[in-house]
Amino acid sequence: MSELLSHESWKRFQRACLAATATTHMDLQGVLFDRSGHVISPALSVARVAFGAASEDVYFLRFAEAEEAVQDRSVEIEEIRHLAHIDDLTGLANRRALFKELDHRIASMRARTHDDLAVFYLDLDDFKKVNDLAGHAAGDEMLCLVANCLGVVFEENGLAARLGGDEFVGLIQVPTEADALEIANSLQGRMRRLGLKSGSRFFTIKGSIGICHLKPDLVASGAAASDVLHQADKACLRGKAEGGGSVNFEVFNPEEDACSPDVSGWQPEDLLMKDLSLHAMPILALDSKAVLGSEILLRLQGEKELACAPRALIASAERSGFMSQVDGWTLDQVLDAISISQSRRWFAVNLSLGALADNRQKDLLRSRLSSEPLLAGRLCLEISEKDYLRQPDLCENFIRFASELGCQTAIDDFAGHWPVLERLTELKVDWIKLDPALNTLSSAPERKCMILRRMIAAAHDIGIRVIAKNVGDGSEMAFWQTLDVDAVQGFHVGSPKPWPDSDL
């Protein structure tokens, strides 16, 4: 300071400060110049502080610019701390924040009586298709939609986190196991309503949920966050092995080893065509109660059938790229069987996207049906609504090809998504097979049933017949009769039987 101000200038500066602070009792604001008149500090303030009867007052010079820099740095540090616990894509908590909160909740349960803790591990099913078909930007958007669902479900007294990739975790205190299952079903319901449009494609998503339920009396055994999360992950993988889209529940076991989840059973690389078998499930006309045809279902034989559920077999084969070969084998077996049958029933075969894109399947159908054209009318080729939404052009091209050959066609697991309804008006499809989830409407309010009734009527208006799936009892059968569906299938109608040993 002495290098910038002369003694006389400093005295004048002190008198000005004294006058200002004495009259206003406020800090003096100003600027500080060097000898050349350049501003050293754009925001200088002077505070006068008197120490009782001291002969001289003390003045503090504060350079606001430096203080603001310190304050800005503090804000920046807080922001960094915040971001270190947030997933930058979805805005949910990240892995670090999840483990911190899980440790805190477990410690709280040790310290006092508390509700049970439920940890939900969500792994999206078939998410890779979104990235592969629509690009990573669409994949990121789908992850954000899923994250919003978790945020809503766990926003009150819970935490939603993204572990990475397409894996998420939610945790919340719950009074009972039934409450945990209700939360998982709520999350599944919200995800079923998600949809993402990308160009001509439309994507839906579902996920497998594993729940680990931790009771207060087990906390004292030394439960760690990693152990609880591991067991939730294990329950989730059990659902993936069963074909996905399910909720699996288990109570925390303190004796279980915290190693990598072990999901035994059939693996895709074990697939041999000789291990496969076909079953047939009847499709019943509601007006005449006569069997119209059957859906052909894929199964494993022998001990492998016990190790792998049908949905798991198909999901694993699709993930591993084997499904087109399996579809080709199935088509060949069905054509062989019906070529020697005198029955007029038709048989439905569900085809994967891989089969639709594989010209070998078209060549197989063309060569077999050109020499035996009457077989075409006994073959109904099904495409799932999910695949139609993802690859509409590919599916429509195949439907036109199959129709030109004389085959029947169907949209399977139809839930009424508008992008499919819109395009069906210009496409020749013989059947839609309703999503089994619609069976729950049998106990729904009449207003909801009204929409479904009108959708079925609209399908009839454009020449499409309707099949209800997974009809499990007489009440569901009666429900579908009131809605005027054409046919039903499910265990109430008839269970799957080995085929072609069963009646052709």
pLDDT of residue 202: 92
Distance of CA 177 to the CA centre of its chain: 23
302 φ, ψ (degrees, to nearest 5): 60, -140
Q: How far apart are CA 173 and CA 158, in angstroms?
A: 7
pLDDT of residue 59: 47
Identify whether 500 is preceded by a cis peptide bond (ω within 30 of 0): yes
Q: How far apart are CA 67 and CA 44, in angstroms?
A: 11
Beta bridge partners of 174: 116
CA distances from 18 to 6, 56, 65, 363, 439 (A): 18, 11, 23, 100, 86
416 φ, ψ (degrees, to nearest 5): 90, 25
Question: Which is nearest to 224 in space by CA: 180, 254, 250?
Answer: 254
Question: Which is nearest to 310 in space by CA: 374, 244, 403?
Answer: 244
Q: How far apart are CA 408 and CA 17, in angstroms?
A: 96
pLDDT of residue 54: 45
Read off the pTM.
0.72
- 488 neighbors 284 (Cβ within 8 angstroms): yes
CA distances from 426 to 334, 372, 398 (A): 29, 29, 14
Look at the chain and count its residues. Answer: 504
Question: Which residues, at least 6 apart from 144, have a Cβ–Cβ distance to it below 8 Å?
Answer: 89, 90
SS3 per residue for 297-334: EEEECCHHHHHCCHHHHHHHHHHCCCHHHHHHHHHHHH
Inter-axis angle of helices 359-371 and 323-339, nearest 10:
10
| E strands in 55-134 | 58-63, 116-125
Q: How far apart are CA 409 and CA 376, in angstroms?
A: 11
pLDDT of residue 351: 95
pLDDT of residue 23: 44
- 45 neighbors 27 (Cβ within 8 angstroms): yes
Averages of pLDDT over runs of 10 residues in the chain (504 residues) are 51 58 47 53 50 46 51 53 77 92 87 82 91 92 96 91 93 92 93 90 92 80 81 89 84 68 51 81 94 92 68 73 88 90 88 92 92 91 94 94 96 90 86 91 84 92 95 93 95 91 59
- 221 neighbors 254 (Cβ within 8 angstroms): yes
